[in-house]
């Protein structure tokens, strides 16, 4: 990859593309719109200059080559509507263009500020870690006219259910504020194996994120981890299984999965923290019980304050058909 390159060229003033297809190869003057306002200059440049190392971005910031309204700024400067940002020429090694197939998903709500979908299990929310593309890239590909589209939060690849996306930066920052303040109520349906007793149970275990030797992101209970709190409500028992509703009081990575596994209750089909022998047995049909080919964890309800109207919104996504069928088969053939 080549370093930042200077070469002559007439400065051109233009409006900022929300999903840039390439980095600038000449000096550009970009005018910040209402939706781009509020973000730090370093984050703005990292988004615009796709493929340029962070060290290069901070180098041009320190050198003064990036200017706002013709003046020097530091990396903590927050952009305001109407600011004119000077971006110097940047050159990176050309990468083959990736064809991302556009896709649409079941829509639970869409307006000028939000897009809320029902994500199927087995689909990543974004590319990375061996995944070429995910929900966000597919939605952007199917909506090339969209000026702004960003994930508000994430779901594990094997978790299905409600996923929020913002169509305006103001909506994104508003919802992130609600998440930080604990103002968004997220609830999941989860099937666990074991003798669950309490109608309502609080689990408070600190969670620590780390990378396994193979580079995979993992989470474990550890005393110096992040404070984490989940409330579980017993909905129904199916033999040695229990269907629970999980209320997230904090939003840590893999929180529900690790809280349950560390408490002795494996999620059916969880291939990372679950009971592997149990999973192998569930993948094969037995008598009238059908096979379970996925993790039984589904984000089924969310409540938040709409960023434009200020009114509470509650959305629901029913259990996917394969999960419903599995529960019905457990009624006939208890495990």
Q: What are the E-state strand segments in the chain? A: 12-15, 28-31, 67-68, 71-72, 84-87, 106-110, 114-119, 150-151, 160-166, 185-193, 200-204, 207-211, 217-221, 229-238, 241-248, 266-267, 297-305, 312-316
Give which of 284, 289, 294, 282 is closest to 322, Cα–Cα: 294
Q: Please confirm, yes or no, whether 156 is among the known catalytic residues.
A: yes
CA-to-CA dists, residue 108 to 116, 143, 259, 300, angstroms: 5, 17, 29, 11
Q: Are 202 and 190 in contact (CB under 8 A)?
A: no
**Rounded CA separation 189/227 (Å):** 22
Q: Strand pairing of 67-68 and 84-87?
A: antiparallel
**Rounded CA separation 118/121 (Å):** 10
**Rounded CA separation 90/150 (Å):** 25
Q: Active site residue: 3, 42, 111, 156, which one?
A: 156
Active site amino acids: 156
């Amino acid at each position: 990859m080549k370093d930042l390159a200077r070469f002559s060229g007439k400065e051109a003033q233009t409006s900022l593309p929300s999903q840039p297809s390439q980095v600038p190869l000449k000096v550009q003057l970009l005018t910040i719109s209402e939706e781009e306002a509020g973000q730090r200059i370093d984050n703005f440049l990292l988004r615009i200059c796709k493929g340029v190392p962070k060290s290069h971005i901070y180098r041009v910031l320190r050198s003064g080559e990036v200017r706002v309204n013709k003046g020097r700024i530091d990396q903590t400067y927050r952009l305001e509507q109407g600011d004119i940002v000077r971006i110097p020429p940047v050159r990176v090694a050309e990468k083959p263009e990736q064809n991302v197939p556009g896709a649409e998903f079941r829509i639970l709500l869409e307006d000028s500020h939000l897009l809320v979908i029902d994500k199927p299990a087995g689909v990543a929310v974004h590319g990375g870690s061996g995944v070429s593309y995910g929900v966000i890239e597919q939605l952007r590909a199917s909506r090339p006219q969209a000026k702004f589209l960003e994930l508000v939060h994430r779901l594990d690849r094997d978790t299905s259910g409600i996923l929020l996306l913002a169509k305006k930066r103001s909506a994104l920052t508003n919802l992130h504020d609600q998440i930080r303040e604990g103002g968004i109520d997220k609830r999941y349906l989860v099937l666990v194996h074991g003798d669950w007793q309490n109608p309502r149970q609080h689990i408070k275990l600190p969670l620590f994120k780390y990378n396994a030797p193979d580079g995979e992101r993992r989470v474990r209970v550890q005393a110096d981890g992040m404070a984490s709190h989940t409330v579980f409500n017993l909905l129904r028992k199916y033999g040695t299984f229990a269907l629970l509703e999980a209320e997230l009081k904090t939003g840590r990575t893999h929180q529900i999965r690790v809280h349950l596994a560390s408490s002795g209750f494996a999620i059916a089909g969880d291939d990372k923290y679950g009971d592997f022998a149990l999973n192998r047995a569930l993948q094969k049909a037995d008598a009238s019980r059908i096979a379970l080919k996925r993790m039984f964890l589904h984000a089924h309800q969310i409540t938040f304050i709409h960023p434009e109207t200020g009114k509470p919104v509650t959305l629901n996504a029913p259990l996917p058909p394969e999960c419903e069928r599995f529960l019905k088969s457990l009624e006939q053939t208890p495990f």
